[in-house]
Amino acid sequence: MKKSGLTYIVDDLSLIRKNIIRDNSVVIKLSNPDDVVGVFQRYYGDYNIYQICLDLGFGSLSQIQFNNDWENIPLVIFAYNLGDLNYILNIVGLIQSCKIRVMQPASNKESYASLKILSSLGVDCGIFFDQEQADSEAFLDLASYYYMSPVPHASIEPFANIKENIHLDYNHSFDEVYFVDEKRFLYIHSEKEFSFLPQSKRLSIYLSDEDFEKEQVNFKLENYYGHFMELDQCSKCKAFKICNHKLSSSFNCDCQQTMAEVFEYAEISETVRR
């Protein structure tokens, strides 16, 4: 199996010490804030840590006791909400100095205001989609803030990724923001198995280069080209270039209209920038 350029995603620390990890960059998934510094210090240097992904579930950002040890850790934090805003405001300078992106769920109505606050404070942040549908109007309002606000602010994903790649001639979805890209990320489940998505078909880690490339193509056919073969609604959507079907069931109304407006915001923003 070809390893060059791939990033392995693991939530079992014992797998990091295996040979399958050593020659690749790695995303380490954690759930306890107390483990972040120790895990980074333990593996940094011997391994290429692409990012540490801290998933707090329904926890708040303010439950983390940030300190100077966090400054050099490439970290993305998935938190349900900000929690104690006064605490966040008191340590915002420290958070700004860290390599941190804070992600909040689209299904939580508080997230949209919270992300504006973080971005205005100079903290990179973003929205992620969970099992519940998101409010389309709130999502568009956040997109409008990111693309159109004249006030300086930090990046908000996936809008920043869309803006960065809107000029490309080919389709480029924002999958990489969420560690989903069959050409970049593999989810490692054991010494013998991997998958392109957390819940997708598991494949053998010992696949030949040829078989691995076939699986990449099959994955692309199923998740991308299939829409054009079936001529479904996604294949006719203007925003397919940036969405690639990823948000087809994520909103409480027409996803095509929602993402088409995001696409227009990004185009206008890019035109103004030039």
Domain boundaries, the chain: 7-175+234-273
**Residue 270 token pair:** 């890019």
Residue 144: pLDDT over 80: yes
How much is the pLDDT for 230?
Answer: 67
The answer to whether residues 26 and 2 touch, using CB atoms and an 8 Å cutoff, is: no
**Residue 270 vs residue 162, higher pLDDT:** 162
**Residue type present at position 246:** K
- Phi and psi angles of residue 187, each rounded to the nearest 5 degrees, phi first: -90, 120
What is the rounded CA–CA span in Å between residue 158 and residue 127? Answer: 7
Q: Which helix (H) or strand (E) holds 83?
A: none
Whether the model clears a pTM of 0.85, i.e. scores above it, the answer is yes
What is the rounded CA–CA span in Å between residue 108 and residue 81? Answer: 8
The answer to whether residues 96 and 121 touch, using CB atoms and an 8 Å cutoff, is: yes
In Å, how far are 183, 214, 257 from 187, measured between CA atoms? 12, 17, 32
What is the rounded CA–CA span in Å between residue 112 and residue 186? Answer: 30
How much is the pLDDT for 65?
Answer: 92
How much is the pLDDT for 112?
Answer: 96
Residue 1: pLDDT over 60: no
Percent of the chain with pLDDT over 70: 88
How much is the pLDDT for 3?
Answer: 54
Strands 25-30 and 156-157: unpaired
Average pLDDT over the chain, rounded to whole?
86
Residue range 52-78: mean pLDDT, rounded: 94
How much is the pLDDT for 87?
Answer: 95
